[in-house]
Amino acid sequence: MSTILEYTPLATIEQYHADLQRTFKSNKCRPESYRRTQLLQLAYMIQENEARMIDAFYKDLGRPKEEVTFIETHIMIGACVYAIKNLRKWMKTEYAPMDMVTGILTPRITKDPKGVGLIIGPFNYPIYCTVSPLMGAIAAGCPCVIKMSEIVPNISALFEELVAKYLDNDAYRVVNGGVQETTKLLELKWDQIFFTGSGRVGKIVATAAAQHLTPVSLELGGKSPVIVDSTANIDVAARKILWGKTVNGGQTCVAPDYVLVSEDCADRLVEAFKKTYAKFYPEGAGKSASFGRIVDHRSFDRLKDIMDRSKAELLCGGESDRDTKFIAPSIYVNVSKEDALMESELFGPILPIVTVKNVQEAVEYVRQGPSPLVIYVFTTDGKTKEYIRTWTRSGGLMVNDVIIQAASDPVPFGGTGDSGYGAHHGRAAFDTFTHHRTMMEAPRIAELFMALRYPPYTAKNYVR
Ligand code: NAD
């Protein structure tokens, strides 16, 4: 247990659950004005405490300031503002198009809060991965508990303090702790669970939720490939891929995990990576203020073991230091598909480059594995884009860039198959915590037609 982070007592977790149930039943979170106020408070909470967040991120992940503001704080303030702007539209009752059978009953869909939510966050983007679903829960009118990751203690302690200060404590509480605390949370009955993390823990969460028939969203990871063909702008591709691989020390769910490059441009890409690497880290990554650290020794050892077992050729990087949890961005070439680097999600600053004959071979390889969170494609050929879209499966598809798709409010963000199910961002987050409740109403005149349904079912009642 961390000394910075106070774990929430198990009895308190039960109390939070009971309190939030009571709040939900009181309808306190339902009015639009309440939701607006809380969303605004959430945005202010981040804006007014950005400097403290930057400090906490540095302590936990050695993360450069720019990577905190760019990928966590600014995006999440924007997400809250986007929700405030669209809230009325999202909450609006939808009337069904007229149909002959039930049209007279004016069928409609009301947007009802599902109940009390539970959000479980990972260590790598602890603000983005909890605030985005929390925005959805608030917008939907749901109280909720947010369970932060224990392996980023400075950030999680700060988040607990700030939520208590900025949000309505009748409805929003933070739980801190590890496996024991999460297990306690999972024993309780929630109305929606939103989990972000590994597939291994995702299965534990989904199994526990099933005991209560609780709906779950699972935002998981996986090996997201990059396919590069010779029509791409190779220099720009190398720049984007290397940035995507090294931001947050490579600990990004949508990081490009490995590259599949067609052989007719493989040499050019390798050269471009070498040049880009020298530009990014002129004095070496160890001295760079623009490169973070591995979160803990367990993750460091896992990555080091993979590097040690790899039989591929090291192009750049390779240095490491266990004391400071530093692993240099490391690019490997001549990587075989059976290499240790290709076994599972790397989740660190290691980039394997696999040369394939052509895009067809790349697609064939991707199709054999679990469906990734995203597939990246660098090409200018329209047919290639469409071919890859049609013959593969993934949470998202990004052409000629990386990671930036995870910053868009208007489109859903989520996985499919092994990379999870459910989604967040904007309306998708609102919908996750909303029950789309069908409502109809029979006017008195409807009985004229509906009387036909009553027995006895004799010919006189029915026109055949
Ligand atoms: P993790 O699965 O180890 O932990 C996630 C949460 O589960 C933490 O809050 C942790 O305390 C809790 N937990 C851990 N073990 C548990 C257990 N046995 N029982 C109950 N709860 C438990 O994930 P992580 O290491 O924090 O995050 C890395 C993973 O998350 C990567 O696979 C990454 O791809 C994925 N991820 C996905 C997304 C996405 O949006 N899809 C975003 C960020 C991270």
Question: Would you name the residues annotated as active-site residues?
Answer: 219, 253
Cα-flanking dihedrals φ and ψ of residue 384, to 5°? -65, -45
Give 378-421 pLDDT, tens digit per residue: 999 999 999 999 999 999 999 999 999 999 999 999 999 999 99
* Residue 427 token pair: 């309306």
Ligand 1 first shell, C-beta below 6 A: 120-125, 129, 147, 149-150, 178-179, 182-183, 196-198, 201, 204, 219-221, 253, 345, 347, 373, 415, 420
Residue-by-residue DSSP string for 60-99: HH---HHHHIIIIIHHHHHHHHHHHHHHHHHHSPEEPPP-
- The pLDDT value given to residue 447: 86
d(CA 426, CA 366): 30
What value does the CA radius of gyration of the chain take, rounded to a whole number of Å?
A: 25
Starting from the edge strand earliest in sequence, which strands make up the sheet with 144-147, in order?
A: 172-175, 144-147, 117-120, 192-196, 216-219, 420-421
- The pLDDT value given to residue 462: 53
Cβ–Cβ under 8 Å, residues 28 and 22: no
- The pLDDT value given to residue 461: 58
- The pLDDT value given to residue 464: 46
pTM listed for this prediction: 0.96
Please measure the distance between the N-terminal and C-terminal CA atoms of the chain and give it in whole angstroms: 75
- The pLDDT value given to residue 300: 98
Cα-flanking dihedrals φ and ψ of residue 170, to 5°? -70, -25
- The pLDDT value given to residue 339: 98
Return the ligand 1 atom nearest residue 149 CA. 9
Complex ipTM more than 0.85, yes or no: yes
Residues of the chain with pLDDT under 70: 1-3, 459-464
Return the ligand 1 atom nearest residue 295 CA. 25
d(CA 295, CA 278): 25
